[in-house]
A = this chain, B = another copy of it.
Amino acid sequence: MTKHEGFWTTDPADILKVGPGFRLTDVDPDAHPGYDGDKKSAVRALAEGADILAELQELLTANATLGDPRRVLLVLQAMDTAGKGGIVKHVVGSVDPQGVHLAAFKKPTPEELEHDFLWRIHRQVPGAGKIGVFDRSHYEDVLIGRVRSLAPADEIERRYGAIVDFERELVGSDTTIVKVMLHISPDEQRARLADRLDRPEKHWKFNPGDIDERVHWPAYMEAYQAAFERTSTPEAPWFVVPANHKWYARLAVQHLLIDALHAMKLEWPPADYDVEAEKRRLAAT
């Protein structure tokens, strides 16, 4: 059995989960629920968690090799600069790349727009034994889709139901879904954008359109609230992670992944061949 992390005061999965009555406006993006340490200790904790996560991922791969169909899907949603990229680099990046299926969903292509919004999503569902990561996802179609009126209101309505059905089907086919919104404040975003403008080696990360989008902040928060109410189900709940502190957000998402894998009770699978006979065959070569 693999180890569990010992540095949480309370299981963050319980605190961060979106349940009935959840209000996004009640979440403090500066908070670090369940963790009492500071940035420095969080860096050490992240390294400790990385080893645990890496072993769990290898167990997932090992079992898939022998026919276990299970997989994990991490869905990452957030406002720009909230740290999705950092999660991929520092949390997902600590496991074997061979066990990861990463899909970044950008502005849909003309071909993608010819299909239902879930078409391009289905194509990126992770295979058995993989940790899939969606950097943005089907939720864009009820977030920017709603804020910028990219689809009629009744189509947006339809999508909430389609998403719930889609995710139920995924869960039914042995997928553990971990849906995460990284939550920063508008002031924190301003500071992060300013940092990109101040440092020449960060200029490539800045997009003037990011500033234009800031005026829609309240509308985005409303769209997130609506998405949580319509799609945070018992089988595929949302987690809202305060993300003004990057060190906290990384630690929390790492924990959510560890938790998802722990719940599978993975063990090293037994050999499907005769070990002693193979030893003799090998010695004879």
Say which residue of B186, B204, B214, B285 sits within 8 Å of A65 (CB atoms).
Answer: B204
Q: Which single residue of chain B is at the shortest CB-CB distance from A214?
A: B285
Residues from chain B with Cβ under 8 Å of A190 in the complex: 282, 285
The proximity string for A residues 47-87 relative to B, scoring 1 for CB distances below 8 Å and 0 otherwise, is 00000000000000011011000000000000000000100
Question: Given the known A-B contacts A93-B97, A285-B211, A285-B215, are A275 and B104 also in contact in the complex, defined by CB atoms under 8 Å?
Answer: no
A181 at the interface (CB under 8 A from B): no
Question: Given the known A-B contacts A89-B96, A97-B97, A204-B62, are A278 and B211 also in contact in the complex, defined by CB atoms under 8 Å?
Answer: yes
Those of A187-221 within 8 Å (CB) of chain B: 190, 193-194, 197, 200-201, 203-206, 208, 211, 214-215
A22 at the interface (CB under 8 A from B): no
Cα separation A63 to B135 with both chains bound (whole Å): 21
* A104 pairs with B98, CB closer than 8 A: yes
A281 at the interface (CB under 8 A from B): yes
* B268 pairs with A203, CB closer than 8 A: yes
Say which residue of B62, B65, B206 sits within 8 Å of A271 (CB atoms).
Answer: B206
* B102 pairs with A268, CB closer than 8 A: no
A269 at the interface (CB under 8 A from B): yes
* B197 pairs with A279, CB closer than 8 A: yes
Question: Given the known A-B contacts A206-B271, A268-B203, are A89 and B85 also in contact in the complex, defined by CB atoms under 8 Å?
Answer: no
* B98 pairs with A282, CB closer than 8 A: no
Cα separation A97 to B85 with both chains bound (whole Å): 10
Question: Given the known A-B contacts A98-B88, A282-B194, are A203 and B270 also in contact in the complex, defined by CB atoms under 8 Å?
Answer: yes
Those of A84-109 within 8 Å (CB) of chain B: 85, 88-89, 92-93, 96-98, 100, 102, 104
Interface hub of A85, A214, A281, A285 (most chain B Cβ within 10 A): A285
A9 to chain B, nearest CB (A): 30
A59 to chain B, nearest CB (A): 9
The proximity string for A residues 159-175 relative to B, scoring 1 for CB distances below 8 Å and 0 otherwise, is 00000000000000000
* B93 pairs with A96, CB closer than 8 A: yes
A52 to chain B, nearest CB (A): 15
Q: Which single residue of chain B is at the shortest CB-CB distance from A135?
A: B98
Question: Given the known A-B contacts A96-B89, A270-B203, are A208 and B278 also in contact in the complex, defined by CB atoms under 8 Å?
Answer: yes
Residues from chain B with Cβ under 8 Å of A271 in the complex: 200, 203-204, 206
With contacts A97-B97, A190-B282 known, what are 6 further pairs, Cβ within 8 A?
A93-B96, A97-B100, A193-B282, A194-B283, A197-B282, A200-B268
Q: Which 5 A-B pairs have the closest CB atoms?
A: A203-B271, A62-B204, A201-B268, A89-B96, A214-B285
Q: Can you spell out 14 A-B residue pairs with CB atoms less than 8 angstroms apart? A: A62-B201, A62-B204, A63-B204, A85-B96, A89-B98, A93-B96, A97-B97, A98-B104, A194-B279, A200-B268, A204-B269, A206-B273, A208-B281, A211-B278
